[in-house]
Amino acid sequence: MNHGVLVAISLVAIAFGFGGRFYWAKRTSYLHDTWYHLLASDVVRDNGHRLPDSIEQFIFQGPYDYPPLLHWALSFLPERWVHRHN
């Protein structure tokens, strides 16, 4: 296959992926990571503002390894406010 055709197909796929992601985010008011960040902030809040070793609500278990500052800071805000302003 021609190199130019592969580049064009790749660019269309990338544009479709970005477009679809932002279209869905605009339609639902959430990006795909929003649900994880809301859940993580709830877990940190429920854990006395301490970071958990893991978050148990997922199919595949693993250590909590996201950068913690966002979740820790969100845990100090009221849960209803955090969920409303996602």
Check if the beta carbon of residue 32 is closer than 8 Å to that of residue 21: yes
Burial class (CB in 10 A: 0-12, 13-18, 19+), 44: buried
The model's confidence at residue 1, banded by pLDDT at 50, 70 and 90, is: low
Q: 60 phi and psi, to 5 degrees?
A: -100, 115
Measured on CA atoms in the order 82, 67, 42, 18, is the torsion positive or negative?
Answer: positive
The model's confidence at residue 66, banded by pLDDT at 50, 70 and 90, is: confident
> Among all chains, which residue has been given the structure tokens 């996602």?
86
Give me the mean pLDDT over the 55-63 stretch.
Answer: 77
Q: Which pLDDT value is given to residue 48? A: 92
Q: Which pLDDT value is given to residue 32? A: 65
